[in-house]
Structure 1
Amino acid sequence: MAVIVELSIKPDDFDLGRVTAVTDDMHIELERVVPTGGDVMPFFWAKGSNFESFERAVRENRIVEELQAVARVGDRVLYHVYWGDTVSSLTTILTESEATILEAHGNSPWVFRLRFNDHAGLTEFHNLSNEEGIDFHVERIYTLTEEETGVYTFDITPQQQEALVAAVSGGYFEVPRRTTLKGVAEELGISPQAASERIRRGADTVLRKVLLSRSASDLD
C-alpha cells in the first residue's frame, strides 16, 4: 500500500535548498509538476520582494547553468533552473526509492510531503539517506486510506484510541496533570488497570510509528 511521509530537511542537504538559501525574506515552493526530462526539481516558485538580488545570487552558484523567470503572479515568480554538476544526491535517492514529491517548500527547514509505492520504498529512502549523510526529521507517516478519511489510526485498536483521546483531552499527559488515571477510567466506564493498559499499549504503538519510523521497521 502507498505510504505518504511528511518530513523536514535542512537546506544544506540538497541542491535546491542550498542554491536558494541566499536571503531570509524569500520563501521557496517546489512546483508540483512531473518533468519530462531527468531533472527532479527543475521548477520552483519564489515569494518575496527583492527578486533581482535573489536571481543574481542564484545565477552565481557554480552548479546552476541557467535560471529563467517563467511567470510572475503577484509577489510570486515561477523559475526554471537548469542544473549543472550537482553535488547533492537527494534527487538520486528520490528516484531510486521511486518517491513522488507531492509538496515541498522552505527555506529553513524545508518540508517535504513524499509518496512511496510501499513500505519498501520508504525503507530504501531511509537507508540511502543515511549512507549519504542526509539528515531528516519525520513529522508524520500515513497511508492513502488514512489521508482520504482524515483518520490516522496508527494500527491501534478502537479501545486504545478511545482511551488515548480521553487521556489527552482530559490533560492526563500535561504537567501538572489535570486528570488522573482513575478519572480517565471513570469516564470510559472501565477499571483503572484496564485504562492503564489501553493507554500504555496505544501510546507505545503511536510513539513507535512516529519516533522509530525512519527505518520503517514498525510499518510492516
Structure 2
Amino acid sequence: MTVTTEFLIRSPHLPFVGLAESLDSGQFECVHGLCLEHDARVFVVYLEPDESVTEDDLLAFDEVVEVTSLGRASGKDVYQVTIELADVVSEAFSPERFTATQMEPTVVTPEGWYEKKLFQHYEAFNGMRARCEEYGIDIDLISIAQNPSEDDESSQYGLTDRQHEALTLAISRGYYESPRQASTEELAEEMGISQPSMSSLLRRGERQLLTSTLGTEPDLNTLSS
C-alpha cells in the first residue's frame, strides 16, 4: 500500500524562500534530491523569463554558493544551483529514516515548500513529519490519499508488493552498499518476518528485476560455460 501526500514545509532554514519573496509571481519550481541523500546541495531551479533573474541575482543570496545556467526548458530559464544547506534541514530529511519518492517539482513560496511525495504507507509519512518536528521544521498536511493496490502481475517490473517493499527497505538501509550497512536479520526484524523469508524476498525480487531488465531468462548453460 502506498499513499500520495501533499504538504507544506515551513522553516526559516529552508533555502530559496527569500528568492520566492523577491519574485513578482511569489513562487517558482525546483528539483532537489533530499529524499535520496540528506546532504544533497545541488538544486535545479526553473524561473519564468519575465522575472528577469540573472546568475548574479541568484549568487546574491547567502545560501547560494555556485550557479550554472542550463539554458531554457519548457519555456523557463533553468539554473543548476549549489547551496550551503543548513544542518537542521539535512538531518531532518535523512533518507535512511524514511522512504519517499518525489512526484512533482517542489514549489517554493514565501510560506515555504509545497511538496508532493509518495510514501510506502501512512506510518512512513508520520515518521517523516515527526522527525522534521524534532528539528523545528513544521509540516502542514494538505492532503493524503491511499493509492489503489496493483495486482502483482501488473506492478512495475513484475515485482510483488512484498518484493518491492523488501528491496526498497534494503536499498534505504544500505544493504547493497560495500561494506553492507545492514544485515538480512535487521531487515527481517524491521519487516516483521523471519530472516529466511527476507532472504527469499530479496533473492526473488533481484531475479525478477534482472529478468525484466534483460528482457529474457538467462541461459544458465551459456553463463556457466
State the TM bucket, normalised to the shorter chain: 0.5 to 0.7
CA contact (8 A) 2:34 2:40 kept: no
> 1:71 and 1:35 mapped to 2: Cα distance?
26
1:81 match:
81
CA contact (8 A) 1:27 1:48 kept: no
CA contact (8 A) 2:6 2:115 kept: yes
Larger-Rg structure: 1
> Given the superposition, is the C-alpha separation of residues 130 and 33 from structure 1 closer, same or farther in structure 2, using an over 3 Å criterion?
closer
> Given the superposition, is the C-alpha separation of residues 113 and 36 from structure 1 closer, same or farther in structure 2, using an over 3 Å criterion?
closer
CA contact (8 A) 2:5 2:143 kept: yes
**TM norm structure 1:** 0.53
2:188 match:
none
2:67 match:
67
Matched, 1:8 2:8: yes
> 1:101 and 1:41 mapped to 2: Cα distance?
16
1:126 match:
129
Matched, 1:49 2:63: no
2:110 match:
108
RMSD over equivalenced CA pairs, Å: 3.3
**TM norm structure 2:** 0.52
Deviations 1:73-129 (A, max 9, x none): 465111111123x21634543323222221221323432101122223212211111
Unaligned runs of 5+ in 2: 150-225
- Deviation of 1:63 after TM superposition, in Å, equals 2.3
- Give 1:86-105 correspondences, 5 Å limit: 86-87=85-86, 89-94=88-93, 95=95, 96-103=97-104, 104-105=106-107
136-145 or 108-117, larger mean C-alpha shift? 108-117
Unaligned runs of 5+ in 1: 147-220
- Deviation of 1:40 after TM superposition, in Å, equals 6.6
- Deviation of 1:29 after TM superposition, in Å, equals 1.0
CA contact (8 A) 2:35 2:102 kept: no
Count, aligned residues: 145
